[in-house]
Amino acid sequence: MAIDGSIHLEGRINAHRRLLVELVSVMAAVPAARAALLAMARDNETVFDHEEDPGVEPDAAFAAQQIADDEIRAILKAAMARLETRT
């Protein structure tokens, strides 16, 4: 049975995410690294204060950056939760 290309890609992305969550949770056990990771979770990569006003409907670049910011926060949140279950 052939696996559809998008399903194959989704499976690989999910594997990378699981691995990344585990690695970040291990890193977060180091106090200095944890502080940096928590700061990263608070920060946005998207622009602030209308530096580049996307208008009423943001273009694809703004949407993609927001998706990336959301995913970073989700990975960091999952990693911190995993760390908490270990301690």
DSSP string, the chain: -PPPHHHHHHHHHHHHHHHHHHHHHHHTTSHHHHHHHHHHHH--SS--TTTT---SS--HHHHHHHHHHHHHHHHHHHHHHHHHHH-
Whether the pTM exceeds 0.95: the reply is no
pLDDT level of residue 55 (50, 70, 90 thresholds): low
pLDDT tens across 57-68, in order?
667 777 788 888
Residue 56: predicted pLDDT: 64
Residue 28 has pLDDT above 80, yes or no: yes
Residue 5: predicted pLDDT: 86
pLDDT level of residue 77 (50, 70, 90 thresholds): very high
